[in-house]
A and B are shown apart, each in its own frame.
Chain A
Amino acid sequence: MSDLQFSSPKTVKEAVKILSASKGKARVLAGGTDLLVQLRAGRMAGSMIVDIKNIPELRSIKKEKNGFTIGAAVSGAELGAHKAINKAWPGVVEGLELIGSTQIQGRASLGGNLCNGSPAADSVPGLIAAGATCKIAGPKGLRTSKVEDIVLGPGKTSLKAGEFVVSFFLPTRPKRSGDAYLRFIPRTEMDIAVVGASVSLTLDKVGVCSEARVSLGAVAPKPLLVAKAASAIIGTKVDDEALTELSLAASAACDPIDDKRGTVEYRTKVAGVLARRAATIALERARGN
């Protein structure tokens, strides 16, 4: 009875054509775990749903020479079953796998989680810390963007009319490098992150941190890349002192809100705690790689 249309393009080109023709009234359906909730709540403006899951490129994981390409609509369960990516980027997989229940895992995707524009999206800090990029298709062809440049604020992205994310690229993990994602929720499952923290770091031969990226979720209007937290451990052996500095820098970067999920004070403090704990796990993983 509604005027809502549905289309299920089979190619990227076809999808771009439909999205462009819809004049901004189309919504992209990947896993649907956010979209359908919005649809049910009557919060979905739009007249067309474009299901991109039948485009092969969006559903495949490819090992490339210098990394992995992951289709934007690959589900958490599918990514979780991919051994090589689990080994190379456990922090990224942890993030996507933490979204919702087993049932949600059957559907939720990296593309959907990113483009929903939530500052608390679990999979985004891991991608940002990993230095992941995404391939975007649109009326003007393909372009590539850093993941941290996509979300602008709650529900807002830098995607232009007719554009959608096709895939993510994760570089090959350097030697002596590791990552980890931790989030805080009040229960053990089923909650939206109150704070999320991801750390990716690389050690040199003597165990000094040569590179690091720290990303925080749910503590600002968008997921953050916190350079100061990273520089707190770069050039150190990631000892307690450095970790304390990282923790303080992470807390200092927070600009959270009070809401039903947490308070400003709480989020600020726990961001530091989780950043330190994630860095510790990443460090252990780096030492093992």
Chain B
Amino acid sequence: MGNEKDYLELIDGEKKFRHIGTRPIRPDGVDKVTGRANFGADFTMNGMLHGRVVRSPHAHAKIKSINSAKALKLKGVKAVVTGKDFPTLDPSDKAVGEVTVSFFDMSRNVIARDKVLYDGHAVAAVAATSPQIAEKALALIEVEYEVLKPVMTVSEAMKKNAPILHKGMKTSGVEPTPSRSSNVASRAEFKLGDVNKAFKEADIIVERDYTTQTVHQGYIEPHACVADINADDMATIWSSSQGQFMVRALVAKLLAMNTSKIKVIPSEIGGGFGGKTIVYLEPLAVLLAKKAGRPVKMVMTRDEVMRATGPTSGGHARAKIGAKKDGTIVAGELEMEYEAGAFPGSPVGLGCMTGFAPYNLKDVSCIGWDVVVNRPKAAAYRAPGAPVAAFAVESAMDELAEQLKIDPLKLRIKNAAVEGTQAPYGVKFPRIGCLETLTEAQTTDHYNSPLGPNQGRGVASGFWFNIGGQSSASVMVNPDGTVIVATGSPDIGGSRASMALMAAEVLGIELHNIKPLVADTESVPYSDLTGGSRVTFATGKAVVEAAEDAVNDMKRRAAKIWDVDFDQVEWKDGSACCIETDVHKPMTIADIAAMAGKTGGAISGKANINAKGAGAAFATHICDVEVDPETGHVTVLKYTAVQDVGTAIHPSYVEGQMQGGAVQGIGWALNEEYVYGKEGQLQNTGFLDYRVPVASDMPMIDAIIVEVPNPGHPYGVRGVGEVPIVPPLAAVANAVSHAIGTRMTDLPMSPPKILAAIDAE
């Protein structure tokens, strides 16, 4: 687009934006506060059947047989599908692009074939005329299992004689390739310089082991979809997901269907946080609909969400930092093993890449092991892999500060990554705001306030890459001059408001004249899913370009009407103006739109881009806690999140991302964990015992926005959604450690663990 620079000058210059940075009411808001908005489970069709899934009660077992005869005899049951109904895929069939996925594994995660690999693994699905009949049919599908010993933890899985989940799986990334099958899927390594030599030059070294448990994204809306397939094999899927194009692509692949035969219509999505970047129900619903010849609705129960949808990995991390007496850190080492769940693909590599990213380190080594266990396959969760790595590194930094008697923020400021710093994964940072979040945190009242007895304060920083990727946008000018902005990016947290704001800024019109919408797969060109903190950045960039395209179109029309050259027309405050002469009165967007028919037909703009230049995000959090020394109960007294957001398009929703991410991280730190029984059955399958923070657990979360504009976006946007969950684990752990005088290295810091730590002193 060529004029990125101009916009940045505007940011630093005197001219204020008219719309960017304001806090208008979101365009989809009224529907959401009145109950009118339709989410995944709210859609119904005439003649619709209800689908349910038969799930394994075992964590690890061979499927000897599945007999659906009795279920099919039950009146009202219309179809049953099992793994046999799915196409066989080649084990080497992997997708490259946004996320590397093995379709072979994904297909087996959607429905088990010869083996079940976790409690809750789908084994069969049934469709019936009512939810009650479908429920009854579940019990009539007879599955014979040969129960195997489950492998529940990374350490068990890595033992020499551990039961093997996938025969033939060899650890990749080690040379020579091992001959024996292993539960270790792969090893990843990132290094800069010579870390062993650097440690020898250090005056002080801190080193510790850290452990965390499996945690779930915990979105309130269970997965849901409706699938219909007509006589011509044309499938339509209504579903709640982070990407309608993702659903289309995966259903096409898993069912060997032609993409053009699948239409996916996105519903409102009731939270995802990465957990809805994959399909579970959609392929089953399509197959059931095909077999039954009727639409099929499938909605998970909370129990199914917890047992069978992607949590994120628990694991182990060892962090080691070497420093000079003056606090200059000279060497960093991180070795981590993450649970991938039942199939390879934990985010351990991303953990390795992010852990030391906030710091300027020339000698660093990060090694990650991806390990399969009999738990549900890990899915993305907000900054996948980064929080656990940050927990280890930021705890070690805190310990270093303690031992060197340096203020923990000062220690971080001394070592902060800046423009030109080489990240542990080899890439040199462009302009970033890591240092700015630290210095801002230093000046807060919070950081400078006194603490009482049994209270502690912790700080931690965090990094997330942010991504760009493919986004499409159409800007359609209606005959009355109002505008529709269509994108292919599901709105998970208010992004339609941001799209409208950016379009309004370019078009120079009032916000209420713009209707932003999330279109289906047949109404806009392909877009990558909503994830990686990419929508406001990448889709926003597409919207800006599409709006500029529409402006150019309108300028051409005005030039035609006035019979002047195109470059004689400029766009100002929502109107075309003639530069050289005042003979021609400015034409508003409505004036031009009204004449569209006379000047060449409908007016629109489009942009289909693969956005580059996503600016990295850094955050620094401060947490105060009080610990009850007799019960180990932790009260979070005060919490401040400081983050470089580039430019806040709609500051309220930026703050919302920061506050929500922080609270998810606090939950991860304090009480959230998967608890498995001895035989590998999940013990806490509901919100009663999977303890996400409730309103009374939390204080207000101070969100402090720092704006270091990203040169890669016309308005300076950086992604904001993910980095807020990176610092909290360590910020809370450091606070608790200071409150009780013992370092906490095992998450969650549930009251029994804290009390045991206090008593062990």
Which residues in A have some Cβ–Cβ distance to B below 8 Å?
1-2, 40-42, 184, 186-192, 194, 259-263, 265-266, 269-270, 273-274
Contact = CB atoms under 8 A, between A and B. Distances in A.
B741 interface: no
Nearest to A195: B631
Given A187-B671, A188-B696, A262 B683 contact: no
B694 A190 contact: yes
B755 interface: yes
A184 B752 contact: no
B519 to A, nearest CB: 37
B691 A262 contact: no
Nearest to B130: A1
Contact of A186 (B671, B675, B696): B671
B106 to A, nearest CB: 29
Contacts of A266: 632, 751-752, 755-756
Given A190-B687, A190-B694, A191-B691, 6 more contacts: A1-B133, A42-B135, A187-B697, A191-B688, A191-B689, A260-B684
B21 interface: no
Interface in B666-684: 670-671, 675, 683-684
A184 B633 contact: yes
A94 B631 CA distance: 20
Nearest to B751: A186
A187 B694 contact: yes
B346 to A, nearest CB: 24
B480 to A, nearest CB: 46
Nearest to A100: B688
A260 B755 contact: no
A1 B751 contact: no
A189 B689 contact: no
B556 to A, nearest CB: 59
Q: Quick one: which of B76, B684, B694, B759 has the most chain A CB within 10 A?
A: B694
A189 B76 CA distance: 42
A269 B136 contact: no
Nearest to A262: B752
A1 B691 contact: no
B175 interface: no
A263 B133 contact: no
Interface residues of B, number: 31
B136 A187 contact: no
Contacts of A40: 301
Nearest to A191: B691
Interface in B595-622: none
Give the top 4 A-B pairs by smallest Cβ distance, nearest first. A266-B752, A1-B132, A260-B675, A188-B696
A2 B134 CA distance: 11
Contacts of B687: 190
B132 A269 contact: no
A263 B694 contact: no
A58 B497 CA distance: 52
B445 interface: no
Contact of B694 (A184, A188, A259, A261): A188
A274 B633 CA distance: 13
B693 interface: yes
Majority SS at the chain A contact face? loop
A86 B348 CA distance: 55
Interface of B: 76, 130, 132-133, 135-136, 301, 303, 630-633, 670-671, 675, 683-684, 687-689, 691, 693-694, 696-697, 750-752, 755-756, 759
A186 B750 contact: yes
A266 B671 CA distance: 15
A184 B632 CA distance: 10
B756 A265 contact: yes
B694 A186 contact: no
B675 A184 contact: no
Query: Which residue, of A1, A188, A269, has the highest number of chain B Cβ atoms within 10 A?
Result: A1
A186 B696 CA distance: 12
A137 B671 CA distance: 43
Nearest to A186: B671
Contacts of B630: 270, 273
A219 to B, nearest CB: 14
Most chain B beta carbons < 10 A, residue from A190, A194, A265, A273: A190
A243 to B, nearest CB: 13
Given A184-B751, A266-B755, A269-B755, A190 B688 contact: yes
Contact of A2 (B132, B691, B752, B755): B132
Identify the interface centre among B76, B135, B631, B632: most chain A CB within 10 Å of its CB. B631
Nearest to A263: B752
13 contacts: A1-B132, A2-B136, A184-B633, A184-B751, A186-B670, A186-B750, A187-B671, A187-B696, A190-B694, A192-B689, A260-B683, A269-B755, A273-B630
A274 to B, nearest CB: 8
Nearest to A277: B630
Of the candidates A40, A186, A263, the one having the most CB atoms from chain B within 10 angstroms of its own CB is: A186
A107 to B, nearest CB: 16
Nearest to B695: A189
A184 B751 CA distance: 10
A261 B696 CA distance: 19
B685 to A, nearest CB: 9
Nearest to B76: A1
A187 B132 contact: no
A186 B633 contact: yes
A274 B628 CA distance: 12
Contacts of A265: 752, 756
A27 B752 CA distance: 36
A190 B696 CA distance: 10
Contacts of A192: 688-689
A42 B57 CA distance: 14
Highest count of chain A CB atoms <10 Å: which of B132, B133, B755:
B755
A58 B288 CA distance: 48
A273 B750 CA distance: 17
B751 A187 contact: no
Contact of B689 (A2, A41, A261): A261
Contacts of A194: 751
Contacts of B756: 265-266
B133 A188 contact: no
B133 A270 contact: no
Nearest to B752: A266
Contacts of B755: 266, 269-270
A259 to B, nearest CB: 8
Contacts of B631: 184, 270, 273-274
Contacts of A1: 76, 130, 132-133, 136
Contacts of A263: 752
Nearest to B684: A260
Nearest to B632: A266
Contacts of B130: 1
Nearest to A184: B631
Contacts of B759: 269
Given A270-B631, A273-B630, A186 B691 contact: yes
Nearest to A42: B135
Contacts of B750: 186
B304 to A, nearest CB: 12
Contacts of B301: 40
Contact of A188 (B132, B303, B697, B751): B697
A262 B683 CA distance: 13
Nearest to A2: B132
A90 B730 CA distance: 40
A76 B209 CA distance: 47
A194 B670 CA distance: 16
A171 to B, nearest CB: 32
Nearest to B132: A1
B627 to A, nearest CB: 13
Nearest to A101: B694
A1 B74 CA distance: 12
